């Protein structure tokens, strides 16, 4: 059974960089797409971007200038960096495995609050 777990700071100051890591267990990362998705408190879901196991990426244009997703398949991990954060970036951040038919495995999510 594939499992994903997000980790990283729960509090980030405005203008700083949000950094999260997703650790994948129970399966290989190879030949899959791995995504980050976020959900502001009480609101809907927003796709941030994905990385393929070989390293190619695709980002949401609304965040593209501030987002970097990277992968380390030797550690079974992929990571998210979001620069110049504001209060609008406060959200639960999920990592997920993306198939051709949708997101089939998700992490439990981690709340990141942007506040001084």
Partner 1 sequence: EIVLTQSPGTLSLSPGERATLSCRASQSVSSNYLAWYQQKPGQAPRLLIYGASSRATGIPDRFSGSGSGTDFTLTISRLEPEDFAVYYCQQYGSSPQTFGQGTKVEIK
Considering only residues 56-95, where is the footprint of partner 1 by CB under 8 A?
58, 60-62, 94
Put the strands of the sheet holding 3-7 in their side by side order: 3-7, 18-25, 77-82, 67-72
Establish if 23 lies at the interface with partner 1 (CB under 8 A): no
In the bound state with partner 1, the residue whose beta carbon lies nearer, of 52 and 106, is: 106
Closest among 17, 54, 56, 39 to 96, alpha carbons compared:
39
In the bound state with partner 1, the residue whose beta carbon lies nearer, of 16 and 46, is: 46
User: Are 59 and 35 a contacting pair, CB within 8 Å?
Assistant: no
Query: How many angstroms separate the CA atoms of 44 and 70, rounded?
Result: 25
Q: Please, what is the minimum distance in Å from the beta carbon of residue 56 to partner 1?
A: 13
Q: Dig out the tokens for 111 from the structure.
A: 């709340």
Q: Please, what is the minimum distance in Å from the beta carbon of residue 9 to partner 1?
A: 20
Binding site for partner 1 (CB under 8 A): 44-47, 58, 60-62, 94, 96, 101-104, 106-109
């Amino acid at each position: 059974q594939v499992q994903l777990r997000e980790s990283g700071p729960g509090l980030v100051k405005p203008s700083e960089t949000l950094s999260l890591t997703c650790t994948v267990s129970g399966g290989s990362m190879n030949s899959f797409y791995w995504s980050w998705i976020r959900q502001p408190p009480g609101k809907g879901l927003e796709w941030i971007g994905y990385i393929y196991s070989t390293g190619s990426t695709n980002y949401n244009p609304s965040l593209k200038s501030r987002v970097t997703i990277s992968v380390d398949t030797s550690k079974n991990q992929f990571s998210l960096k979001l620069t110049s954060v504001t209060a609008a970036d406060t959200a639960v951040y999920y990592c997920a495995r993306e198939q051709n038919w949708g997101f089939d495995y998700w992490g439990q999510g981690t709340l990141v609050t942007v506040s001084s």
